[in-house]
Structure 1
């Protein structure tokens, strides 16, 4: 009873219809801002929601703290663009995020995420909890980035950090 599946796509605007195409790239999905009338078998129309639209569900389930694992194919910034209330109301000490190799194509989106998390007191780390240098995000960050709240006890989030 602690898991809720929401069958919508996170997007900056709620209620919009978007087409998801299943294709042959590693993720298998792409999101398009158009709605075709005759959809091939590998295309589906989904309704969008803002990440903040999930907040009433979290409140109803008395969620106070959560961890996020997000991988939405270069659209992770939509979570940030549409989720400021959730990040204000819910304690989220840990976010695991795919840091796509196509970040150079969407530099503004990725810079927005860095600014969003930095403004909320997060630090970017690699899988071993080693801090990443913000200025290296475009070329040198690994494929998975872990955003940790700076004021949260690191030993609670990182297996390799020794207790004081």
Structure 2
């Protein structure tokens, strides 16, 4: 029999203590067959509880009316189209539909522009321009009141008459047009040598980046009356259009050091949604003037209990909070005010302007 001295016994005890400590620190394989059933049940239960809490948070967030503005924007739509000038263009449009002279002598004397017009655009061909009276107010009355470096945002470019004039006047322009007329704007920019002045986006602007589809009127001409409608289920893939929010311009404005802009918006009843999607832009960038077609938007206030009515009410409240007032889109806009508490008698086109704009 071997006998151990006290020192040897102490060393053995120390060694066993270290082994036990290492065992306690070692990671456990809870998937092992030797794992107690109770422990497996507790881990699974904890995972289920954590998942349930996350689901509850997401459900509550989805109820928030501000979620559309606060969610992470889908910048892919805009980034994909920023370099549109590298894309191919339709030579048939350029050769057959871009020979119309735009009448811009009232705000750009001595300058000339060619418009690219789809078939059946008789109003433009007959009068020499489109909404010439409104353009005159924008370019003769509003532009002199802003910085020479102020940009122009054209939401609902159609065939680009506002875009072309603003670019010819030396402004940096940001144009949004989700429909097939996008090709006519693109061709007109090429013909007039203005591709370096315009960011052209083939996207629709709404209050969030959910799916949307293109609809056309049941009766009457399609041109100029195309509408974007939400498609929450993303089910009509063949009619879908790309959607962005106005706030997605902020990275570009910051990079280009743009501090001021004028907005023109005419998108067949979706104006409130588009501006709501630009709440951050309106707070960070000086936007002293917004020309807006409002007749179709304000009609939604008669749709009691609908989400559309709530969005228009939210839009009007936001404009008040941002210190905007409204005037008729006319030459005497400086002296006339529209009643913000009763919009039922507003004209079809209004001018939103900051109280400190002049």
Q: TM-score, normalised to structure 2's length?
A: 0.38
Q: Secondary structure at the match of 1:151?
A: coil
Do residues 133 (structure 1) and 330 (structure 2) align?
Answer: no
Counterpart CA distance in 1 for 2:265 and 2:202 is 15
CA-CA distance at 1:99 after TM superposition: 1.1
Aligned counterpart, 1:32: 229
Aligned counterpart, 2:268: 73
Q: Deviations over 1:101-128 (max 9, x none)?
A: 4623344333222211111111111122
Counterpart CA distance in 1 for 2:350 and 2:310 is 17
CA-CA distance at 1:78 after TM superposition: 1.4
Aligned residues: 146
- Indicate the structure with greater helix content: 2
Aligned counterpart, 1:148: 353
Aligned counterpart, 2:242: 47
Structure 1 or 2, whichever has the larger Rg, is: 2
CA change 1:56–1:92 in 2 (3 A) is same
CA change 1:104–1:26 in 2 (3 A) is farther
CA change 1:74–1:86 in 2 (3 A) is same
Counterpart CA distance in 1 for 2:245 and 2:337 is 30
Match of 1:110 among 287, 302, 312: 312
CA-CA distance at 1:6 after TM superposition: 1.4
Segments of structure 2 that go 5 or more residues without pairing to the other structure are 1-195, 302-308
Counterpart CA distance in 1 for 2:294 and 2:324 is 16
Q: TM-score, normalised to structure 1's length?
A: 0.78
Aligned counterpart, 1:7: 202
Q: Secondary structure at the match of 1:140?
A: coil
More deviation, 64-73/21-30 = 21-30
Counterpart CA distance in 2 for 1:125 and 1:50 is 26
Q: Secondary structure at the match of 1:97?
A: strand
Aligned counterpart, 1:157: none
CA-CA distance at 1:136 after TM superposition: 2.0
CA-CA distance at 1:83 after TM superposition: 1.2
